[in-house]
Structure 1
């Protein structure tokens, strides 16, 4: 299976649906109340439709496979396969955000388990990468709890919209590490620990 193929991924905790404009109202509501830290790129409620359009444009360009994160029938966030390199079977999981109602629940853990299983087991990925801003300590801690290993820091990697330079921390999981990562995520879900 190709990393760009639109597919529904689902378990008892979450459903990942290919992102469409029909998710905009739910996602605008989910974005309400989120603190928009300078080091994140969560859309404001009024910008959700533009965010969806941008993700769908990147999908059409072959560099992103976007999903709506749906919990109990309501879209509560977004996640993607991004920076897709199908020829080298390499992908990043990123551009993820969740509304307040889904944070610190099983939703994120379950979504990551579904995405990683799809990448490694269905798409035969040889590396799954995660990237985050150096200053996004919450995201860095969550990625480390997944079992990803830090590859390095890309210093002055990007210029932000405010002109501030971003250092990007790069993590990855390899196929040989996937069984232990899968077991850890499943154990977290089994004991009801949603902090991933």
Structure 2
């Protein structure tokens, strides 16, 4: 794990970084690696209904954030309200070749003063999983966060029993920071321990190179 360099001048054990907050992110289109990531709009409701129906991913364990098809209109409306309020940025993941929607993801828990954010509330159609879409999508998101916005830290939070998602985050090169025990009570009454991972700005160049190699760039 890369370490932040010591700021010798201040005697602090942490690196000197900009103290100005990040600007509030605005929805932009991200393109690359066969994907087009479009800011969430009302017309995405029907395509996203097809996404969640593909593999019935709303029924998967440890995924209470995935709405059932009939709940998509309200879910999209709520996400768009969050975007308008400046608390989240939401994208629909689209395959460039045929324009098919493959999933949804967000920037959330924006900590602008501390130059951090979380990538979360992500879901992909069943047929798009384990096809290379996830690392391609993460390459675009991480590149935007670090290279364009100037983030210091990008975080991922995963249900402790969601082993597939934990391994996917680890393959990105994220480091486990710890576990928030009994962090959330889920709709079915079960208790979620949340595993927290992060990537820091000094680690990003190496992770970017590894992702580019993985994507054949």
Q: 2:31 aligns with which of 10, 20, 32?
A: 10
Matches of 1:169 and 1:138, distance apart in 2: 13
Given the two structures, how large is their TM-score scaled by the length of structure 1? 0.92
Matched residue SS, 2:215 = helix
Gaps of 5+ in 2: 1-21
Please show how residues 161-180 of structure 1 align to structure 2 within 5 Å. 161-180=187-206
Gaps of 5+ in 1: 192-196
Which position in structure 1 is the counterpart of 2:15?
A: none
1:38 maps to which of 61, 64, 70: 61
TM-superposed CA distance for 1:48, in Å, is 1.5
The Cα RMSD (Å) is: 1.4
Q: Residue 39 of structure 2 contacts residue 90 of structure 2 at CA under 8 Å; is this kept in 1?
A: yes
Contact 1:4 1:59 in 2 (8 A): no
Q: Which has the larger radius of gyration?
A: 2
Provide the residue aligned with 2:11 in structure 1: none
1:25 aligns with 46
Match of 2:99 among 73, 76, 82: 73
What are the within-5 Å matches in structure 2 for residues 55-66 of structure 1? 55-66=79-90
CA contact (8 A) 2:87 2:108 kept: yes
More displaced 10-residue stretch of structure 1: 152-161 or 27-36? 27-36
Residue by residue over 1:36-83, the C-alpha shift from the partner in whole angstroms, topping out at 9 and shown as x without a partner, is: 233112111221222211211222232210000111312111001010
* Partner Cα separation in structure 2 for residue 58 and residue 166 of structure 1: 24
Structure 1 moving runs of 4+ over 2 Å: 1-4
The reply on whether 1:100 has 2:130 as its aligned counterpart is: no
**Aligned residues between the structures:** 191
Looking at structure 2, the residues matched to 12 and 170 of structure 1 have their Cα atoms a distance apart, in angstroms, of 27
Is residue 119–residue 125 contact of structure 1 (8 Å, CA) maintained in 2?
A: yes
